[in-house]
């Protein structure tokens, strides 16, 4: 078995056997590579049934939150490459258009599938084609507003579209919000279920005319018309997502349904299904490092220093202990951002809003208008999803919302979709914003304290994934002077390196070799203009380093140099992430490729860089 065509003639029993084999193979491989496990284990039967019933890739199968697609990859010609998952040159951890024709849409951020699938369905109709379009949304993705925007549009357009909700009652963490409670209530509606079972027991095809009448009768008798039906969908469910016989029968009915309208199939699955350690774990083994299959024990390296995430959590707890107005907000990532620790100390001052970054930002803005001190702890890559709210609801109104931006810079195995490459550029371009970057874990504590004390404007501080550099931590963070950097090393070679963020350690290594002056900018906005003037006046070469895309810190420094007519006096070398999306690799290799390790910094200073900007010899 390598492709969907190989399983078209399988019996239900053979499909069950295949599902068990897929589940075991996935556990075995991921135990050696690490990766996302729980969500994929939960959709094995659904994935097998989908590829058995539908004619993929002619029929478009659009997945949401792509970390649930490992079984899909194994069924679509990539089984033998699964051991390369999330490694350099290997398979992506998410769906990726350039990887396979069976991936019609890339999915690494959530809640995009219904919108994309609706676009494909309308395109099909305009071309006069007859393929099916199926969106599989789940793992918490229904908590994001974009899913409902798409459903509202789909219900109005009336094109045939099949949406499958993989309801595993989980996200990355236990679910939150009214929608989760609504789905649970729908699942337990005994009166509605009894009417549905009555119809199922006596009718062979769930979408036959008689079955439709029975469905409508059940809805009228119980008053169980769902939100999804209000949006224009024909709702079916909830059904057992591990019952292969029922899955195949319903999917065949949906495939053969001739009415041009959107259909909504509500499937209940168990995250971590079939692997006892995952089933017993609170996060259902959402993401794992390498592990022992027999015991489920993960093989985590002993950290030499605390993680930046934990340092931020402890620092925020310390600030909140002294200031009852501090509120912590996260968007479905309490453990990823460290706010699970904060919640244990301050449960009534912690808000997990679900996968709803837009709401998180404006919710924080509302709190700020009433004198509270909200901290929005969101990954850099996910804060992108709320940019209009950052601009319109926070920056324009100059509200003191604090943004703690985790996973800034490159993130290794998650690749381009999760890289924190753009936040410097998209935040520092906004009036009123203060933008900081921590060079080590002690600086992160200071920036947390500085943000807590900043009541005049929105303020953001960014920090990388993983463990710190091992510096001694203070008992409590100190408040930094806004817009002031620091000299870390005095040199006499004529080379000055101005670092913004966590590349400072690499800059220090390069500085030792070069005899360079090293400075930690701390702030991109406002710039420490006095520090920059000093570096220019006493050196012939100025190098800026940042873990961000073009248009960020270097652009602000260069603009200042141009405004002050200082570019003619200095050779300027901006080092930043390349203007491309970098595929997954180890962080060290990714930074080497970006030219941001000590070795590449030295080469750039010695004239081996292609991005040297020099106006010293130009005519005035």
Q: Which ranges in 35-105 belong to alpha helices (H)?
A: 38-42, 44-53, 70-73
| From 45, 215, 319, 357, the catalytic residue | 357
> 141 to each of 121, 164, 227, 285, 376, how far by Cα in Å?
21, 12, 16, 18, 20
Within 13 Å, how many C-alpha atoms sit on residue 164's CB side? 26
| From 78, 160, 196, 271, the catalytic residue | 271
> 67 to each of 94, 277, 417, how far by Cα in Å?
5, 19, 12
> 324 to each of 264, 321, 448, how far by Cα in Å?
45, 7, 15
Q: Is 302 exposed, middle or buried (0-12, 13-18, 19+ CB in 10 A)?
A: exposed
| From 23, 73, 196, 385, the catalytic residue | 385
- Site of tokens 């600030």: 319
Distance CA 162, CA 265 (A): 8
Beta bridge partners of 436: 461, 523
What angle do the packed helices 308-322 and 441-453 form, to 10 degrees?
Answer: 30
Span between the terminal Cα atoms of the chain, in Å: 70
Concerning whether 476 is annotated as a catalytic residue, the answer is no
Which residues, 6 or more positions from 574, have their beta carbon under 8 angstroms from its beta carbon? 543, 544, 554, 555, 557, 558, 611, 613
Residue 4 sits at the vertex; the CA angle it makes with 114 and 7, to the nearest 5 degrees, is 125
* Helix (H) and strand (E) counts in the chain: 25, 20
Concerning whether 357 is annotated as a catalytic residue, the answer is yes
Q: Is 408 exposed, middle or buried (0-12, 13-18, 19+ CB in 10 A)?
A: buried
Concerning whether 341 is annotated as a catalytic residue, the answer is no
The closest of 585, 560, 590, 443 to 504, measured between CA atoms, is 443
The closest of 429, 460, 454, 458 to 553, measured between CA atoms, is 429
Distance CA 500, CA 129 (A): 53
Active site residues: 271, 357, 385
């Amino acid at each position: 078995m390598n492709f969907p065509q190989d399983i078209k003639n399988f019996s239900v029993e053979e499909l069950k056997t295949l599902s068990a084999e897929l589940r075991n193979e996935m556990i075995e491989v991921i135990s050696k590579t690490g990766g996302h496990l729980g969500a994929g284990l939960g959709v094995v039967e659904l994935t097998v049934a989908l590829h058995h019933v539908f004619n993929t890739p002619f029929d478009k199968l659009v997945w949401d939150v792509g970390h649930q697609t490992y079984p899909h990859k194994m069924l679509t010609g990539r089984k033998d490459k699964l051991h390369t998952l999330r490694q350099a040159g290997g398979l992506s951890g998410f769906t990726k258009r350039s990887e396979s024709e069976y991936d019609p849409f890339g999915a690494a951020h959530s809640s995009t599938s219904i919108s994309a699938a609706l676009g494909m369905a309308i395109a099909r109709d305009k071309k006069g084609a007859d393929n099916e379009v199926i969106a599989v949304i789940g793992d918490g993705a229904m908590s994001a507003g974009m899913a409902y925007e798409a459903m509202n549009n789909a219900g109005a357009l009336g094109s045939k579209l099949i949406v499958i909700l993989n309801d595993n009652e989980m996200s990355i963490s236990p679910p939150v919000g009214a929608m989760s409670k609504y789905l649970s209530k729908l699942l337990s509606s005994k009166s509605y279920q009894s009417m549905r079972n009555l119809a199922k027991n006596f009718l062979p095809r769930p979408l036959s005319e008689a079955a439709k009448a029975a469905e409508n009768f059940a809805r009228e008798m119980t008053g169980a018309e769902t939100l999804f039906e209000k949006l224009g969908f024909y709702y079916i469910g909830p059904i057992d997502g591990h019952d292969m016989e029922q899955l195949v029968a319903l999917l065949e009915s949906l495939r053969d349904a001739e009415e041009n309208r959107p259909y909504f199939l509500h499937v209940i699955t168990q995250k971590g299904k079939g692997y006892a350690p995952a089933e017993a774990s609170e996060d259902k083994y959402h993401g794992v490092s390498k592990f022992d299959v027999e015991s489920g024990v993960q093989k985590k390296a002993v950290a030499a220093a605390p993680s930046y995430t934990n340092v931020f959590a402890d620092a925020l707890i310390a600030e909140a202990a002294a200031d009852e107005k501090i509120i912590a907000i996260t968007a479905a990532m309490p453990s990823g951002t460290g706010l699970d620790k904060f919640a244990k100390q301050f449960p009534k001052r912690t808000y997990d809003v679900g996968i709803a970054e837009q709401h998180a930002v404006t919710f924080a803005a509302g709190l700020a208008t009433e004198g509270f001190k909200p901290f929005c702890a969101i990954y850099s890559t996910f804060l992108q999803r709320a940019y209009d709210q950052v601009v319109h609801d926070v920056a324009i109104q100059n509200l003191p919302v604090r943004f703690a931006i985790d996973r800034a810079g490159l993130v290794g195995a998650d690749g381009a979709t999760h890289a924190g490459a753009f936040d410097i550029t998209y935040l520092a371009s906004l009036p009123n914003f203060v933008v900081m970057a921590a060079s080590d874990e002690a600086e992160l504590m200071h920036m947390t304290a500085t943000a807590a004390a900043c009541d005049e404007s929105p303020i953001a501080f960014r920090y990388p994934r993983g463990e710190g550099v091992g510096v001694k931590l203070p008992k409590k963070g100190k408040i930094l002077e806004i817009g002031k950097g620091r000299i870390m090393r005095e040199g006499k070679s004529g080379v000055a390196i101005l670092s913004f963020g966590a590349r400072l350690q690499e800059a220090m290594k390069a500085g030792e070799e070069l005899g360079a002056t090293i400075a930690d900018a701390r702030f991109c906005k406002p710039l420490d203009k006095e520090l920059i003037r000093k570096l220019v006046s006493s050196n012939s070469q100025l190098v800026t380093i940042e873990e961000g895309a073009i248009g960020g810190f270097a652009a602000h420094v260069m603009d200042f140099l141009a405004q002050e007519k200082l570019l003619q006096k200095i050779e300027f070398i901006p080092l930043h992430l390349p203007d491309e999306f970098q595929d997954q690799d180890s962080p060290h290799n990714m930074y080497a490729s970006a030219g941001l390790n000590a070795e590449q910094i030295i080469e750039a200073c010695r004239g081996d860089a292609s991005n040297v900007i020099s106006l010293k010899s130009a005519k005035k």
